Chain A
Amino acid sequence: DIVMTQSPDSLAVSLGERATINCKSSQSILYSSNNKNYLAWYQQRPGQPPKLLIFWASTRESGVPDRFSGSGSGTDFTLTISSLQAGDVAVYYCQQYYSTPYTFGQGTKLEIK
């Protein structure tokens, strides 16, 4: 199984500042035949289902503000929120869909400082 490890487990950032969440996979999730990283990022607000933010490691889902961006390749990935807003308080998960069992990181709780 591919293990997804996020860091940090929790993060407090001031409004308007940058938030960075890291995700590391236990093996490469870059598929060489199409050069795509099978990595997604989700936001989960309290009491809500997960919401897709980023897929293919760096493609923003329709309607997601451009302050959210994803980067990385192979085994190391990053979600960046360029200017934190109050509504961004949530738990963020990375997920690999390279192979079953599909696995998620443990989550990173983002709060306002």
Chain B
Amino acid sequence: QVQLVESGGGVVQPGRSLRLYCAASGFTFSDYAMHWVRQAPGKGLEWVAVISYVGNKKYYADSVKGRFTISRDNSKNTLHLQMNSLRAEDTAVYYCARDGEWIWDYWGQGTLVTVSS
């Protein structure tokens, strides 16, 4: 069965970096684009970034552009999100989601990132 498992979250000070991971299983990872979506505590959903199935196309929300980098390793079925220069407003649960030709059909359980001094 399809599984997406995020990891790498935690408490980090403002200005520091963190790298998130999304381990995929149960499907051919290299056939799908992948997204990161976040949700601040008690708030709605915010799309963060997307990467094409090959990894050659990447798009970002303006709120993270220049600070976050999405990448993938198709040989290891893993999606990454490198987050630099973290701010308090980046505090959120980060979800990875599978994109099957515009259909975001599977989401992970999320990993919590808290940016606080």
A interface with B by C-beta (< 8 Å):
38, 40, 42, 44, 48-52, 55, 61, 93, 95, 97, 100-107
Q: A38-B102, A55-B103 known; A107 and B44 CB under 8 Å?
A: yes
Cβ-closest 5 pairs across A and B = A49-B107, A102-B47, A104-B45, A100-B59, A107-B44
**Total A-B residue pairs with C-beta atoms closer than 8 Å?**
48
Q: With contacts A101-B61, A102-B50, A104-B47 known, is A52 near B95, CB below 8 A?
A: no
Within 8 A of A (CB), among B32-72: 35, 37, 44-47, 50, 59, 61-62
Residue in A50, A55, A104 whose beta carbon sits within 8 Å of that of B95 in the complex: A50
What is the CA–CA distance of A104 and B38 in the complex, to the nearest angstrom?
A: 11
How many interface residues does B have (CB within 8 Å)?
19
Closest to A62 in B: B105
CA distance A106 to B62 in the complex (A): 18
Q: Dominant SS at the B interface?
A: strand
B62-117 residues at the A interface, CB under 8 angstroms: 62, 95, 102-105, 107-110
Please report B residues at the A interface, Cβ cutoff 8 Å.
35, 37, 44-47, 50, 59, 61-62, 95, 102-105, 107-110
A46 to chain B, nearest CB (A): 11
Check if A49 sits within 8 Å of B108, measured CB to CB.
yes
| Contact across chains for B108 and A52 when beta carbons are under 8 A apart | no
Beta-carbon nearest neighbor of A93 in chain B:
B45
Instruction: Give the docked Cα–Cα distance between A105 and B105 (Å).
Output: 18
**Interchain CB contact under 8 A, B45 and A50:** yes
- Taking a contact as CB atoms under 8 Å apart, the answer to whether A104 and B46 are in contact is yes
Residues of B within 8 A of A49 (CB): 95, 107-110
Query: Knowing A49-B95, A93-B45, A100-B59 touch, does A61 contact B105 (C-beta < 8 A)?
Result: yes
Q: How far is the CA of A92 from the CA of B61 in the complex (A)?
A: 22
Contacts of B109 in A (CB 8 A): 48-49
Q: In the assembly, what is the distance between CA of A42 and CA of B45, in Å?
A: 10
